[in-house]
Amino acid sequence: MNREQLVEDLKQQIIEQLNLQVKPEEIVAGDPLFNEGLGLDSIDALELIVLMQQKYRIKLANAEEGPKVFQSIDTMADYIIAHQPAANK
């Protein structure tokens, strides 16, 4: 899967997982997911972790990685590409 397609898939998956009232094209991949960006909170962060485990079979190595990985859709895509199991590449 190429990075551009992954970013588009993540937008759609995040909207569905978090029940957001936005369209995928309204989300800028580089914008923050938390605070001033999409305005997600800590409960949403847990949902994003579940999403990555279910859709991409990727677990965060440790909790400290969370803020860096979930900074934006771009950072999530980069993490998924770097940590995808070989069968998914």
φ, ψ (nearest 5 deg) of residue 84: -65, 140
Report the pLDDT value the prediction gives residue 86, as an integer from 0 to 100. 66
Expressed as residue numbers, the domain containing 29 is: 3-88
CATH number at residue 24: 1.10.1200.10
**CA nearest neighbour of 33 among 81, 70, 79:** 70
| pLDDT reported for residue 63 | 79
Q: What is the pLDDT of residue 87?
A: 53
Residues 28-87: tens digit of each pLDDT? 999 999 988 899 999 999 999 999 999 999 988 887 888 999 999 999 999 999 998 765
Domain count, the chain: 1
